[in-house]
Structure 1
Amino acid sequence: MRESGRGRGRRPERLHHPLSLLAGFIPVVMVFFACALGSIPRHFSMSSFLLPLLGIAVITNVEAGKNRYGRYKRYHLPELVGDRGLVVETETMEEIDGAMDRILSRGERVICLNGGDGTVQRALTRLVNRFGEDEDSLPVIFPLRGGTMNLLADHLNIKGSTPELMERALRAVEEGEEIPFVRVPSLRVTRRMGDREEREYGFFFGHGALYRFHRVYYRDTKGGPLAAATLFAKCAFGGATGRTRYRDVFGMTPARLLIDDFEMPGDRFTVILAVIFKVVVITFDAFRDVGEGDFYVLATNVPFFRMVGRLPRLLWARGAEPPYPREEFFNERASRVFIECHEGYSLDGEVFELEEPYTLTVERGPMVKVLTPAPTIRP
């Protein structure tokens, strides 16, 4: 994990201006006199006095899709942010945890995430696991579209280059006390393995074919829509013919599946998806807004080779009735998904590789506050 300072090179975190030093000293004096006068409340915390005045921080995941191979350097985010906040670069997902801990300990109000959906998912999980699911206690986040997958940004119509979005975020924070944001519901994914329980938070859950597709996608491509579409065609051909090294990507996964109070027949599934908002990936528009529940679920126990002739009706359904009964192809809203399985899964494109038996519960998670800065006005 690297912290970026202004200009060339990197320097350790420090106060950037003599006035900042004075501003940091005043609360200490106030606390001293409050203690001397016996007027300090019992629930007082020093951190409540020492929060930064501006409160903006940036995490750059240098391995995210659009940041790889040093491309993140062309955005010059440390120079853009300057003395107004903190920019931290991370090379692994584990380093994002440490970066979030540092940022949260400083009390920033807005956390900009220069990465894709996987970066957002990792940061959000650390955030909620530290502060709980009460949205009022959570800072505002803002995706800078630095990744291969940017579904959250697409859903909120957050458009623009990474530097443009960074400038908009800085203006939004500087222009007043009120931070403009929108609330977005999330998914809570609870994994139980033996006596261990872990919770992850995100927006797009995938098991079976999508999990295997993500594994191959990150291993064999450099990312991007064209690479994803090409790989999908290769996997589809392999699944339909049983040939090529991609033949198992769209294969069957042993599992037991319970959607609300409906146990889906069979013990092998091609794919299980749960998304908090309808998404369109590679132009696919498959989810139906039918039934009651907090999120969309699509699951099927039909082998891929049997679905090949009907793929257009499934992938571009646009709300139409699927050509299979509910027992074979579930495509409705739901509030709870329970899975018993031993293969891994993906959440917002982040791959969780597992090989031992575990159970997984997908439910609605907390509301997440996402910055909604004013668009850039061009002359």
Structure 2
Amino acid sequence: MKVGVICNINAQRVPPGISARIKAILKDSIEVIEETKKLKDMKQIIDDYFDKVDIWCFVGGDGTVNQGLSYLWYKTGMKDELDIPVLHGKAGSLNAIPDKIPLKGDLDDILIRFKNFLEEKKGIRKIPRDNLKKLNTIKLSIKGYETPKICFNFFLGVPFLISKKVIEMRLGTKSSILQTIYSTIAKFVVSGGREKLIKKIKAEIEIEGAKYPYKFHYVIVGSTFREPALFFRPFTEIDKYKSGFFFFVYSGDAWTAIRNFRTYARGKKRPPHSFNDITSKVLIKAWSGLNYDGEIEDKDFVEFKAEIGPIVNLIKI
């Protein structure tokens, strides 16, 4: 099996010369390895080597993998399942997706295990089922883009503003990200509610054809994971199984949310003035930016539809 490796050198933990290091580990298994800075370059590499590569490895953060998966899905006809196996090159700041596979260790650890795996399975034509993690996704149809994208998480409001700050500050560890979150809350309390990162956004939301009654919100989150990232698990227990993704909107009072922060963040209680359930489709018009898997749409207005996306196959080793 031949491997295609694309390294996003803009990612937090991708050092200069990363491609030489990866090539030294994977050696003859590599069909192509390239370093990129732009999405269009990633697309061109996939186009050029699509028929020659069996497995793709995207080295970077969750956003890098998001872009790679989205384009592979588009390239293969946007079917219900993306069959091409993908290895997450764990080199971002948050790395929320590898935690769900799971992929333990740093990038070198993962690549060495992957090299050993390829040597052990030499001659096989497909990755064994036991070494694949099938994950559901969300399909995002964002106004202004010709083709839909797929993701595992999206958020607007306060989570978007904090994530934008984290990216701008190039924070590289989960502890530094948590520190930023808690310091933001502390500033809000000390300033008497004047912290600029904690503010409501206007958004018109329709959930499975029904209009959500409130128009101003602090938090809007969609995720295929019960625990999207870090320790946050805002989704409460579901009464019965439904097909779809978790969706949470908080439109209540900021002080109520802060007083009950740990309770709401762990999904132990359903907040007032909120939606907290599984859904299969939402329509959102928001006067805000959007973050999906670390990809930032830094705009004053965004309009999109979120619905059930395809299954993707991520390699676990």
Give the secondary structure class of the aligned counterpart of 1:127: helix
Q: Percent same amino acid among aligned pairs?
A: 18
Instruction: Report which structure shows greater RCO (CA 8 Å, sep ≥6).
Output: 2
Paired with 1:242 and 1:252, the residues of 2 have a C-alpha distance of 17
Note if 1:67 corresponds to 2:14.
Answer: yes
Is 1:122 the equivalent of 2:70? no
Instruction: Name whichever structure is richer in helix by fraction.
Output: 1
Q: Distance in 2 between matches of 1:123 and 1:112?
A: 9
Q: Distance in 2 between matches of 1:137 and 1:236?
A: 40
Q: Which whole-Å CA distance do the structure 2 matches of 1:157 and 1:289 have between them?
A: 23
Q: CA deviation at 1:367?
A: 0.8
Structure 2 match to 1:219: 168
196-205 or 56-65: which moved more? Answer: 196-205
Residue 45 of structure 2 aligns with an amino acid whose one-letter code is A
2:212 to 264, 273, 278: 264
**2: CA distance between counterparts of 1:154 and 1:337?**
26
Q: Deviations over 1:304-362 (max 9, x none)?
A: 23321111211123xx33242xxx12221111111012322000111112234x42111
Q: CA deviation at 1:135?
A: 5.4
2:99 aligned residue? 154
Matches of 1:83 and 1:351 in 2, distance apart? 36
CA 1:361–1:222 in structure 2 vs 1: closer, same or farther (change >3 Å)?
Answer: same
Task: Name the residue aligned to 2:154.
Answer: 205
Structure 1 segments, 4+ long, off by >6 Å, are none
* CA offset digits 1:82-140 (Å, max 9, x no partner): 23212111123443333333332x43111112112111101111111222222566421
Q: Partner of 1:143 in structure 2?
A: 88
Find out whether 1:332 has 2:277 as its counterpart: yes
What is the deviation of 1:248?
2.1
CA distance in 2, matches of 1:78, 1:147: 20
Q: Which amino acid aligns with 1:225?
A: K
Cα distance between partner residues in 2 of 1:365 and 1:121: 13
Q: Displacement of 1:168 after TM fit? A: 2.7
1:364 aligns with one of 286, 308, 314: 308
Look up the match of 2:108.
163
- Asked if the contact 1:239/1:304 (under 8 Å) is kept, the reply is no
User: Displacement, 1:143?
Assistant: 0.6
Matches within 5 A, 1:31-46: none
Distance 1:302 1:237 in 2: 19
Q: Can you list the C-alpha shifts for 1:18-72, whole angstroms capped at 9, x where unaligned? A: xxxxxxxxxxxxxxxxxxxxxxxxxxxxxxxxxxxx321111112212215x384
The structure in which a higher percent of residues are strand is 2
SS in 2 for 1:279: coil
The structure with the larger Rg is 1
Give, in whole Å, the separation in 2 of the partners of 1:239 and 1:95.
41
Instruction: Quote the RMSD (CA, aligned, Å).
Output: 2.4
**In 1, Cα distance between equivalents of 2:12 and 2:220:** 25
Q: CA deviation at 1:219?
A: 1.0
Extract unaligned runs of 5+ from structure 2: none
Matched, 1:248 2:196: yes
Aligned residues: 308
Does residue 97 (structure 1) correspond to residue 30 (structure 2)? The answer is no
> Is the 8 Å Cα contact of residues 117 and 150 (structure 1) preserved in structure 2?
yes
